[in-house]
Amino acid sequence: MLDGTIDRNALSDEDFRQAFRSWLEAHYPDEWRKPIVFRLRGEEEKRWLRMLHAHGWRLPAWPKVHGGMGLSMAKQIIYHEELERYGAARFLDSGGVLLGPILIQYGTPEQQQKYLPEILRGDVIWSQGYSEPNAGSDLASLKTSAMRDGDHFVVNGSKIWTTMVAESARMFLLVRTSQEARKQQGISFFLMDMDTPGLTIRPIENLAGDDEFGQVFFDNVRIPAENLVSDLGAGWNVAKALLGVERISAGSPGLSRHAFDIFERLVGELGLASDPIVCELHARLYCDLADFTALYEHVAEAAVRGEAEGEALSALKILSSETFQRMSDAAMQIASEHAGVLGATRIGALEAELHRVYMIARPASIYGGANEIQRDIIARAILGKAA
Amino acid sequence: MWRRDDDIQTMLRESAENFATMAHDLQRVRRCRVSAEGHEPAVWTEMAALGWTGAMLPEQFGGAGLGLAPALTLAEIWGRHLVSEPLIASSVMAATVLSQSSSDRALALAAAIAEGGATASLAYQEELGVLYPSPPKTIATREAGAVVLSGRKIFVPCWSANTHLLVTARLDDQTVVIAIDPQVAEAHVGESRRMTDGSISVDLEFRSAAISADDVILMGGAASQAVDLAIARGMLALSAQMEGLCVALLKMTGDYVLQRVQFGQPLGSFQSIRHSLANLYVQVELAGAAWRSAASALEDGPLDEARGAISSAKARASDTALAVAKAAIQYHGAFGYTEEADVGLYVNCALRLASWLGNAPAHRALALRQHQQRQASHA
In CATH, what number is assigned to the domain containing residue B23? 1.10.540.10
- Render pLDDT for A36-64 as a digit per residue (tens, 0 to 9): 999 999 999 999 999 999 999 999 999 99
Rg (CA), chain B: 21
Phi, psi of B95 (to 5 degrees): -60, -35
Q: Which of B118, B144, B165 is the last residue of a domain?
A: B118
Nearest CA in chain B to A317: B282
- Render pLDDT for A158-188 as a digit per residue (tens, 0 to 9): 999 999 999 999 999 999 999 999 999 999 9
**Residue B369 contacts residue B377 (beta carbons within 8 Å):** no
Tell me, yes or no, whether A133 and A223 share the same domain: yes
Tell me, yes or no, whether A298 and A214 share the same domain: no
**Residue B121 identity:** S
Nearest CA in chain A to B253: A383
Instruction: Answer whether residue A302 is part of any domain.
Output: yes
Calculate helix-pair angle for A109-121, A43-54, nearest 10 degrees: 100
Q: Give CA A214 to chain center in angstroms.
A: 16
- Asked if B1's CB is within 8 angstroms of A302's CB, the reply is yes
Residue B239's nearest CA partner among B358, B362, B366, B64 is B358
A292, A311, A375 ranked by CB distance to B286: nearest: A292
**Distance to chain A for B365, nearest Cα, Å:** 6
pTM of the model: 0.94
* Residue B376 pLDDT > 80: yes
Burial class for A25, CB neighbours closer than 10 Å (0-12, 13-18, 19+): exposed
Q: Which of A69, A91, A113 is the last residue of a domain?
A: A91
Summary mean pLDDT of chain A? 94
Distances (CA, A) of A139 to A187, A289, A373, A385, B166: 11, 32, 12, 19, 64
Residue A277's nearest CA partner among A333, A332, A325, A323 is A333
Q: Which residues of A touch B286 (CB under 8 A)?
A: 291-292, 294-295, 319
Q: Which residues of B touch A292 (CB under 8 A)?
A: 286
Confidence (pLDDT) at A2: 46
Three-state DSSP at B170 gives strand
- Asked if A309's CB is within 8 angstroms of B364's CB, the reply is no
pLDDT band for position B22 (cuts 50, 70, 90): very high
Instruction: Answer whether residue B1 is part of any domain.
Output: no
Tell me, yes or no, whether B208 and B97 share the same domain: no
Helix extents (H) in chain A: 13-27, 43-54, 73-85, 94, 100-106, 109-121, 235-239, 245-249, 254-269, 276-304, 310-334, 354-361, 371-383
Q: Give CA B266 to chain center in angstroms.
A: 37
Q: Which of B169, B192, B220 is the last residue of a domain?
A: B220
Q: Which residues of B touch A315 (CB under 8 A)?
A: 281-282, 285
Residue A183's nearest CA partner among A217, A218, A132, A148 is A132
Calculate helix-pair angle for A310-334, B271-300, nearest 10 degrees: 90
Residue B367's nearest CA partner among A288, A272, A85, A258 is A288
B269, B282, B292 ranked by CB distance to A315: nearest: B282
**Residue A282 identity:** H
- A137 part of contact set with chain B, CB < 8 Å: no
Tell me, yes or no, whether A133 and A182 share the same domain: yes
Domain of residue A156, CATH code: 2.40.110.10
Q: Which residues of A touch B281 (CB under 8 A)?
A: 311, 315, 378, 382
The dihedral over CA atoms of A337, A339, A343, A347, expressed in degrees to the nearest 10, equals 60
- Asked if B4's CB is within 8 angstroms of A386's CB, the reply is no
Q: Which of B159, B187, B220 is the last residue of a domain?
A: B220
Confidence (pLDDT) at A5: 58
Strands B265-266 and B216-219, bridge-based pairing: unpaired
ipTM of the complex: 0.96
Confidence (pLDDT) at A242: 59
Q: Is A220 left (phi over 0), alpha (psi -120 to 50) or beta?
A: left
Mean pLDDT across A120-127: 97
Domain of residue A272, CATH code: 1.20.140.10
Q: Give CA A133 to chain center in angstroms.
A: 20
Mutation target vs A (from B279, B364, B373, B374; most A CBs, 10 A cutoff): B364
Q: CA B349 to CA A241: how far, in whole Å?
A: 45
- Asked if A312's CB is within 8 angstroms of B293's CB, the reply is no
Q: CA A295 to CA A109: how far, in whole Å?
A: 40
Q: CA A181 to CA B150: how far, in whole Å?
A: 83
Residue A102's nearest CA partner among A264, A222, A240, A262 is A240
Mean pLDDT across B332-356: 96
* Residue B184 pLDDT > 90: no
Tell me, yes or no, whether B176 and B113 share the same domain: no
CB pairs under 8 A between A and B: 116
| Residue ranges of chain B whose CB lies within 8 Å of a chain A CB | 1-4, 250, 254, 257-258, 265-266, 268-269, 271, 274-275, 277-279, 281-282, 285-290, 292-294, 308-309, 312-313, 315-316, 361, 364-365, 367-368, 371
Instruction: Answer whether residue B12 is part of any domain.
Output: yes
Tell me, yes or no, whether B215 and B231 share the same domain: no
Instruction: Answer whether residue A103 is part of any domain.
Output: no
Helix extents (H) in chain B: 7-22, 26-32, 41-49, 68-81, 95-99, 104-111, 220-259, 271-300, 303-331, 333-336, 343-355, 360-378
Rg (CA), chain A: 22
**Residue B64 identity:** A
Q: Which residues of A are known catalytic residues?
A: 246
Three-state DSSP at B126 gives coil
Our count of domains for chain A comes to: 3
Q: Which residues of B touch A384 (CB under 8 A)?
A: 258, 268
- Asked if B368's CB is within 8 angstroms of A302's CB, the reply is no
Our count of domains for chain B comes to: 3
Tell me, yes or no, whether B139 and B106 share the same domain: no
- Asked if A379's CB is within 8 angstroms of B277's CB, the reply is yes
Instruction: Answer whether residue A112 is part of any domain.
Output: no
B266, B285, B365 ranked by CB distance to A283: nearest: B365
Three-state DSSP at A7 gives coil
Q: CA A132 to CA A158: how far, in whole Å?
A: 6
Tell me, yes or no, whether A21 and A138 share the same domain: no
* Residue A6 pLDDT > 90: no
- Render pLDDT for A209-246 as a digit per residue (tens, 0 to 9): 999 999 999 999 999 999 999 999 999 999 987 566 77
Domain boundaries, position B130 = 123-220
Nearest CA in chain B to A268: B372
Q: What percent of chain A has pLDDT over 90?
A: 91
Confidence (pLDDT) at B187: 84
- Asked if B367's CB is within 8 angstroms of A283's CB, the reply is yes
- A277 part of contact set with chain B, CB < 8 Å: no
Three-state DSSP at A143 gives coil
* Residue B186 pLDDT > 80: no
pLDDT band for position A1 (cuts 50, 70, 90): very low
**Taking the CA of residue A358 as centre, how many other CA atoms within 13 Å lie in the half-sphere pointing to its CB?**
17
**Distance to chain B for A257, nearest Cα, Å:** 14
Residue A110's nearest CA partner among A239, A232, A224, A227 is A227
> DSSP label at A88?
P
Instruction: Answer whether residue A114 is part of any domain.
Output: no
Tell me, yes or no, whether A257 and A325 share the same domain: yes
Tell me, yes or no, whether B29 and B84 share the same domain: yes
Q: CA A80 to CA A17: how far, in whole Å?
A: 10
Q: What percent of chain A has pLDDT over 70?
A: 98
Domain boundaries, position A198 = 126-238
**Taking the CA of residue B203 as centre, how many other CA atoms within 13 Å lie in the half-sphere pointing to its CB?**
9
B254, B289, B313 ranked by CB distance to A383: nearest: B254
Tell me, yes or no, whether B16 and B78 share the same domain: yes
Instruction: Answer whether residue B309 is part of any domain.
Output: yes
Tell me, yes or no, whether A79 and A28 share the same domain: yes
**Distance to chain A for B298, nearest Cα, Å:** 14
Question: Which residues, 6+ apart, have CB-to-CB distance to A65 below 8 Å?
Answer: none
Mutation target vs B (from A265, A292, A295; most B CBs, 10 A cutoff): A295
Summary mean pLDDT of chain B? 96
Tell me, yes or no, whether A291 and A316 share the same domain: yes
Tell me, yes or no, whether B374 and B335 share the same domain: yes
**Distance to chain B for A305, nearest Cα, Å:** 9
Residue A383's nearest CA partner among B328, B266, B284 is B266
Mean pLDDT across B55-66: 94
Buried b / exposed e across B3-12, counting CB within 10 Å, b at 16+? eeeeeebeeb
**Distance to chain A for B67, nearest Cα, Å:** 21
Phi, psi of A69 (to 5 degrees): -85, -20
**Residue A155 contacts residue A144 (beta carbons within 8 Å):** yes
Three-state DSSP at A217 gives strand
Q: CA B227 to CA B100: how far, in whole Å?
A: 10
- Asked if A376's CB is within 8 angstroms of B285's CB, the reply is no
Q: Give CA B194 to chain center in angstroms.
A: 16
Q: CA A356 to CA A334: how far, in whole Å?
A: 16
- Render pLDDT for B295-333 as a digit per residue (tens, 0 to 9): 999 999 999 999 999 999 999 999 999 999 999 999 999
- A330 part of contact set with chain B, CB < 8 Å: no
**Distance to chain B for A74, nearest Cα, Å:** 15
Mean pLDDT across A137-153: 96
